[in-house]
Amino acid sequence: MSDDKKPSNWQQAITGEWHGYPSLFEADGTHVGYNKVSRASEFKDGRTTYWMETDFDAFGPLMTRFDLNTRFNFGVIDSDQDRIYTGPDFIGSGRPFGMMVDSNYYSPGWNVGLRTMNHVVPDLGIQVYSSQLFEGDTMVGVFNGIYCVSQDYATNPDTQKQVEDFLLQEKKLGRKAYNLPVKNEGKFTGEFEVYNDQQELIGHNKVTIHHKPINLVHSEQTIEIEGVINRKWTAMRTRTNNSHQFHGPDMFGNGFSYGRYLYSTRHSYAESFKLWSREAVVDSNYTQVCTWQFLESQKEKYMTHGTLTWEEGDEVLGAQYVE
């Protein structure tokens, strides 16, 4: 291979060994275990190789399905337009959008198709990972979790201790439920990068979500977006266990949560415009790392991603009394 070939921007952004403890969920959202993972995408002599070592600790049929007891080691055709996975472990491709890659590929050993999203968040020092697992269009399970990165794990005891502490924390938090504040109103704010359908960064959106609980399972939210996209929607949200619904008047749809992650689709009323989203709560302060994909006429219009921070307001569901 030519030594003149350079790694893509994404390949450079993920240099190092990544460590995580993703949770494994059945299709109905039941948490059934964990998968301790070390992985890296390495560029050498003009070629890119992705390796992954896994250690499953789960129960039920998904444990038998996914615990192959082997090191994954597969080729990648690397570029900032498409990253093509050439097997033998994974066949398919991923599309980079800055610090986030949206991949669709197939695992012969697991017999599942995967939609995997890896979002590096430098400000938080993490990578937010998820894989939705399919047979055809049927969901059979979900992996998700947070990763940290190291450059000297094999040789530095301090780094090894930091990583092990991180993994213990991830194991504790991995099955926490996706919940937004249930008693206090407030707002989420953040800035999202905006990419067009050619994966070009075309600007930024300022995102504000005004959140007001109505009762313990209902809330009213108004989403305001300013920048490349200028929109405003209000909808009532409801939650039953890990099933979420959006009841208008401006957006209608539903979602399903797996641990700390919510995957949802919302349709803008009376127009051919919808929002697909993955939102992950990554700390105890309700910080959300989000990917929002906007579709118009059933075609991708924008891919956006960013971090929302929570600013707490008044308690609106305080103690009730009968005098």
Is 282 part of any domain?
yes
Q: Which domain holds residue 93?
A: 9-173
User: Which neighbouring-strand residues pair with 192?
Assistant: 205, 306
Asked which of 133, 153, 173 is the last residue of a domain, the reply is 173
Domain count, the chain: 2
H-run or E-run covering 103: strand 100-107
Residues 58 and 142 in one domain: yes
* CB hemisphere CA count around 243 (13 angstroms): 3
Residues 78 and 190 in one domain: no
What residue type is 174 in one-letter code?
A: G
Asked which of 136, 154, 173 is the last residue of a domain, the reply is 173
Mean pLDDT by runs of 10 across the 323 residues of the chain is 72 94 97 96 92 95 93 95 96 97 97 98 96 97 96 94 95 93 98 97 98 97 98 97 97 98 98 98 96 97 98 96 93
Residues 68 and 192 in one domain: no
Taking the CB of residue 310, how many other CB atoms lie within 10 A of it?
20
Residues 14 and 153 in one domain: yes
Is 321 part of any domain?
no
Is 133 part of any domain?
yes
| CATH code where residue 192 lies | 2.40.128.20
Is 323 part of any domain?
no
Residues 126 and 225 in one domain: no
Residues 32 and 135 in one domain: yes
Q: How do strand 126-135 and strand 112-121 relate by DSSP bridges?
A: antiparallel
CA distance 211 to 220: 6
Is 241 part of any domain?
yes
Residues 23 and 152 in one domain: yes
User: Which neighbouring-strand residues pair with 164?
Assistant: none
Residues 209 and 245 in one domain: yes
Beta strands in 45-78 (DSSP E): 47-58, 72-77
Is 1 part of any domain?
no
Residues 82 and 224 in one domain: no
The DSSP result for 207-235, as a single string, is: EEEEEEESSSSEEEEEEEEEESS-EEEEE
Asked which of 120, 150, 173 is the last residue of a domain, the reply is 173
Residues 302 and 214 in one domain: yes
Residues 25 and 149 in one domain: yes
Closest CA to 126 of 312, 264, 281: 281
CA distance 24 to 175: 9
Is 19 part of any domain?
yes
Is 305 part of any domain?
yes
- pLDDT at position 38 is 94
Residues 295 and 231 in one domain: yes
